[in-house]
A = this chain, B = another copy of it.
Amino acid sequence: MHQLINFQDLNFLLYDFLNVESLLQFPRYADHNRQTFDAVIETAEKLAEKYFLPHNAKADENEPEFDGHQVKIIPEVKQAIDEYAAAGFIAARHDYELGGMQLPATIASAFQSYFFSANPGTAGYPFLTTAAANLISNFASETQKQQYLPQLLSGKFFGTMALTEPEAGSSLGDLKTSAKADENSDSFLIKGQKMFISGGEHQLSENIIHLVLARIKGAPAGVKGISLFIVPKFLVDECGNIKEKNDVQLAGLIHKMGYRGTTSTVLNFGEKGHCQGFLIGEPNQGLKYMFMMMNEARIGVGLGAASIGYRGYLNSLAYARERTQGRLPSNRDASSPPLHLIEHADIRRMLLAQKAYVEGGMALCLYAAKLMDEAEASPNAKDRAEALQLLDLLTPVVKSFPSKYATKANDLAIQVLGGSGYTRDYPVEQCYRDNRLNPIHEGTEGIQALDLLGRKLWLNDSTAFGQLIKLIKATIALTDKDDNTLQPLSHLLSDSVDRLSKVTRKVAQSLGSQQAGTIDKTLANASLYLDSFSKVVVSWMWLQQASLAQQKLTLTDTDAHQRDFLQGKMQAAHYFIEWKLPTVHHDLMLVEQNNAVCFSMQGSWF
C-alpha cells in the first residue's frame, strides 16, 4: 500500500493515459527510456518517504522562528533538501552540460508529486529554486547564468520569487518597488518592500537569489513598466563566489494557517540605500518574463494541490479499511459484528469523490506537463505551437481545479475519519490546512477565472478552444456506441461540451460589444464559467481513463489486482461525470443570461 501516491495509478497515467514514451522520439529525451523514468520516480518515492515525510508534522508544529539574529528551522528540513539536491532533482529538467538529467516535465511532475504529498512545506524550497533557475536559464545574460545557475541547480543557492507588495497583490501593475540605475556600476539600486515571499530568509543555503519585480524610475504606469531583477542576499563575483551581504533585510515572518514549514517573509530592499539589483533581459519586460514561467509555476501549484489531496485520500482510504463502526441500515441485529467503514455507502461516496478529484487533478497536471514538453522539445514547429496554445488555455484550469477540488478532497478525508480526523494525531487535518493556500497564491481563483474568460479563450482567434473541443469530441466518439457501457457518460459529456461551446460564443458576442458596462457585467460571472469549463475538462480526463480501463479489462493477461484497479477507474469516471458534471448546465445558464445578482449587488446593501 503506497501512502503518498499510488504508483499503479501514476503508471497508468504516464504510460497508458499519456503514452509518455512518445516523448522519447524527441531528440532532447533520446537517451531516456521507461526504465530511466521509473528509476527516477522510484528514487523520489524513497527519498520522500525517508527524508520528507517523517518531519512533515514536526515542521508544522515547529514553524520557522526569528531569534533576533537568524531564522531557525528544524534541522530535518536542510537534510531533506540536501538529499533532494544531491539526487539531482533541482536540475532534473536542465541540460546535461549543466549537470541536469534532461527529463521531460511530465516525469519531473510525476516525481515531484511524491515530495508535495510527503511534505509540501519542505518541498517548497527546491520548487522555488527550480523556478528561479528556469527563469535565469531562459532570460538572463550569459554572465548572470555563470554567476547563479550552477549554484542554484546544485542547491548551494536557493531562489525566491519576489512579486507581491503590501499594496500590490492581485494587481501587480500597482507595485511600487523602484530601481535606479547606479552610475558607478552595471547594477540598479532597488528600494521597496515585498511581502508573502516564500523562502525569503533562512540558513538552509549559502545564498538566496531573489527575483524581484520593480519599476525603473520613469517607467510607464501599470504592468508595462515592470522590470525583473536578480537581487542576491549576498553579492557574488563572476564565478558565483560569495562576497559581501547585500542590503536586503528581513522585516518579519508571516505566520500562516498551514504550509508552515515554508518561511513566509516580509523583506525590505534598500533600507540603507545600497541594495544592488541586476536587470534580467530588457527593461519593462519583467512581467512578460515572469509570466512565461508562470505556466510552469501554476502547473506546480495544481500538482502540489493534487498531491496533498492524494495524501489525504490514501490516508482516509487506509483508515476506512481498518476501522470498524456500525452496521448497514437494514441490519437491526445489535449483536452482529460491526462493519469496516468502507462498507458504508456514504463513506464510499466520500472516498470516490476524493479519488475523482485527486486522480482527475493529477491526470490534468500531468497532461499539462506533457503539453509543456511538446511545446518545448518537439522537433515539429507546428506541434510546438499547438501544444503551447492549448497549454496556455488550460493553465487557469490546471492551477485552479486541483486547488479547489483537492482541498475539498482533504475536507472529505477529515470527514471519513470523523472525530479522529479533526485531531493532530492523524495527518489529514494538516493536509486540509496546507492545501488551503493553493487557491490563493500564484493568482487567486478569481484571477484565474478572469484570465480564462477575459483573455485566454480569445487568443489567436480562439484556436486553442476549438482544438480542445475537437479533442474532447474525439474521446466522446470512441465510447458513443450503443453496446458500450460508457455511452451514458459520453452523452453527458457531449451535452455539456455543446452547452459550453454555445455559452462561450454568447460570451464572445458580449465581450465583442466593447462597451465597458457589458464587459464588466459579462466577466462578473467568470468564476462560474471557470468552474464549468474545468468540470468539462476533468470529465474528459475521466472519460479517457474509463475508456482505456475498459479496453484493458478485455485483455486476457490483466491480473485480478489490475482488474480491481481498472474497475475503480471506471467507477470514479461514473461518479464524476454522473454526479458532478451535470451541474454545469445550471451554472452556464447563469453565465449565458448574464445573471446580475452579484454584479448589481451594492456595497451598502450588505
Contacts and interface: CB of A to CB of B under 8 A. Distances in A.
B583 A597 contact: no
A170 interface: yes
Contacts of A195: 419
A164 B420 CA distance: 12
A419 B334 contact: no
B352 A257 contact: no
A445 interface: yes
Contacts of A168: 325
Contact of A524 (B345, B436, B579, B606): B345
B520 A328 contact: yes
Given A345-B598, A346-B524, A346-B527, A419 B169 contact: yes
A433 to B, nearest CB: 7
Interface in A276-321: 317, 321
Interface in A87-113: none
A563 B579 CA distance: 41
Contacts of A568: 601, 605-606
A603 B325 contact: no
A441 B419 contact: yes
A567 B325 contact: no
Contacts of A423: 254-257, 264
A254 to B, nearest CB: 5
Contacts of A371: none
Contact of A602 (B340, B454, B564): B564
A352 B597 contact: yes
A520 B321 contact: no
A520 B330 contact: yes
Interface in A392-432: 411, 414-415, 418-419, 421-425, 429, 432
A601 B167 CA distance: 50
Please list the 4 inter-chain residue pairs (A to B) with the smallest Cβ-Cβ separation, ordered nearest first: A222-B334, A345-B524, A568-B605, A330-B516
Interface string A570-599: 010011001100110010001000010111
A141 interface: no
19 contacts: A167-B325, A169-B418, A171-B327, A220-B334, A256-B422, A258-B422, A329-B520, A331-B516, A340-B603, A342-B603, A346-B449, A346-B524, A351-B606, A352-B601, A419-B440, A433-B433, A571-B597, A578-B597, A579-B595
A605 B571 contact: yes
A379 interface: no
Interface centre among A164, A196, A224 (most CB of B within 10 A): A196
A150 interface: no
A64 B579 CA distance: 43
A554 interface: no
A250 interface: no
A508 interface: no
A590 B492 CA distance: 14
A174 interface: yes
Given A516-B328, A598-B349, A603-B343, A436 B432 contact: yes
A419 B174 CA distance: 17
A439 interface: yes
Contact of A334 (B223, B254, B352, B424): B223
Interface residues of A, number: 103
A33 B568 CA distance: 62
A604 B326 CA distance: 20
Contacts of A445: 415
A424 B433 CA distance: 12
A124 to B, nearest CB: 14
A436 B171 CA distance: 32
Contacts of A567: 602, 605
A446 interface: yes
A536 to B, nearest CB: 15
Interface centre among A170, A324, A355 (most CB of B within 10 A): A170
Interface centre among A321, A342, A601 (most CB of B within 10 A): A601
A565 interface: yes
Interface string A173-189: 11000000000000000
Given A598-B348, A604-B564, A605-B571, A326 B170 contact: yes
Contacts of A583: 583, 586
A381 interface: no
A519 interface: yes
A170 B527 contact: no
B335 A520 contact: no
Contacts of A414: 436, 440
A338 interface: yes
A251 interface: no
A18 interface: no
A456 to B, nearest CB: 14
